[in-house]
Structure 1
Amino acid sequence: MTGVWVVLGTLVVAGIAGAVLRARNGRVRAARRSPASDLPEPVATALDTGAQVTLVQISTTFCTPCRHTRALLGPLAERTDGLNHVDLDVTNQPEVAQALGVLRTPTTIAFRADGTELLRVGGVPKRETLIEALRPHLTARVGD
């Protein structure tokens, strides 16, 4: 009988953990870091000084959600003036992810042209939520 309770307890804990992770996926969070001078070199190089906002997508080679994120952010940036999207593969550069405090891929970080972090999204972004979060930082209409 004890084994049944252990299995049931494990299933309940796993279900709660899965629900929490699913709820956090794609959620837009406020910026974690502000000093632009601390940016890793690959990120600083990727920033587009001509764009108001650059979305830096932190990816890895075999990350399937990264492909979905790329398919969402690329066209969004193409349709929006002042918005740029860069996909940065950190498979062979784990120090970049560590310096940015990235624990999972994909993670998308929005930066101003000066390197100031505006917001970040862990997982595949929810399109409408991301557009709403980017509106205050762009002068053009987002994604229309």
Structure 2
Amino acid sequence: MSGTGVLVLVAALVLTAAAAWWVRARDGRVRAAEEETVGGPTAVLEGLGVRPGDADLTVVQFSTAFCGPCRTTRARLQHLESTRPGLAYVHVDAESHLDAVRELGVRRTPTLFYLDRRGRLLGRSSGAPRPDELTAVVDAHTGAPS
């Protein structure tokens, strides 16, 4: 193999590693609402039956039937909901609500939206959220577990 070939191979490996690191670092991370470009998600979510006024924090999860991380996230959120009285969890089947998926800019599952009691969007995450980060967000808005 020539020196140019080795150089091209090394460059491709470095770029692939950098891209993989970037994707992994962003996967499941909760982003604050001010970083979002999606306009008016609260009305769309309320059209799906979400009632943020019923809890201190409402977490809306968009998922699909074939998504493994969606099942794990759903189980984790259901457990948190049972131990934190100020948390409401709403599951939305993305395949059955394609108009809402388009309006909200849901590109992958699971995608979670975090709403306060007034219906303000606090943030969102795409991909499986990290368990410690998800628990921290829930505890920050609902208080310590009972």
> Where on the TM-score scale, by shorter chain, does this alignment land: which range?
0.7 to 0.9
* Structural mapping, 1:1-144, within 5 Å: 1=2, 2-31=4-33, 32=36, 35=40, 38-40=43-45, 41-42=47-48, 45-47=49-51, 49-138=53-142, 140-142=143-145
| Structure 2 CA distance for partners of 1:15 and 1:36, relative to 1, 3 Å | closer
Q: Give distance in 1, aligned partners of 2:5 and 2:92.
A: 46
Q: Give distance in 2, aligned partners of 1:3 and 1:58.
A: 45
Q: Give distance in 2, aligned partners of 1:60 and 1:52.
A: 26
> What TM-score, normalized to structure 2?
0.79
Which amino acid is the alignment partner of residue 13 of structure 1? L
Which ranges in structure 2 are unaligned for 5 or more consecutive residues? none
Aligned residues: 140
Q: Over aligned residues, Cα RMSD in angstroms? A: 2.3
Describe the SS at the equivalent of 2:55.
coil
Contact (CA 8 Å) 2:53, 2:119: kept in 1 or not?
Answer: no
Superposed CA offset, 1:83-133 (max 9, x none): 011121112333212211222211111112432111212221122222323
Describe the SS at the equivalent of 1:118.
strand
Residue 35 of structure 1: CA displacement?
4.3
Contact (CA 8 Å) 1:39, 1:115: kept in 2 or not?
Answer: no
Contact (CA 8 Å) 2:52, 2:119: kept in 1 or not?
Answer: no
**Highest Rg: 1 or 2?**
2
> What TM-score, normalized to structure 1?
0.80
Q: Give distance in 2, aligned partners of 1:36 and 1:94.
A: 14
Contact (CA 8 Å) 1:35, 1:116: kept in 2 or not?
Answer: no
Residue 4 of structure 1: CA displacement?
4.4
Which ranges in structure 1 are unaligned for 5 or more consecutive residues? none
Contact (CA 8 Å) 2:115, 2:121: kept in 1 or not?
Answer: yes
Return the structure number with greater helix share. Answer: 2
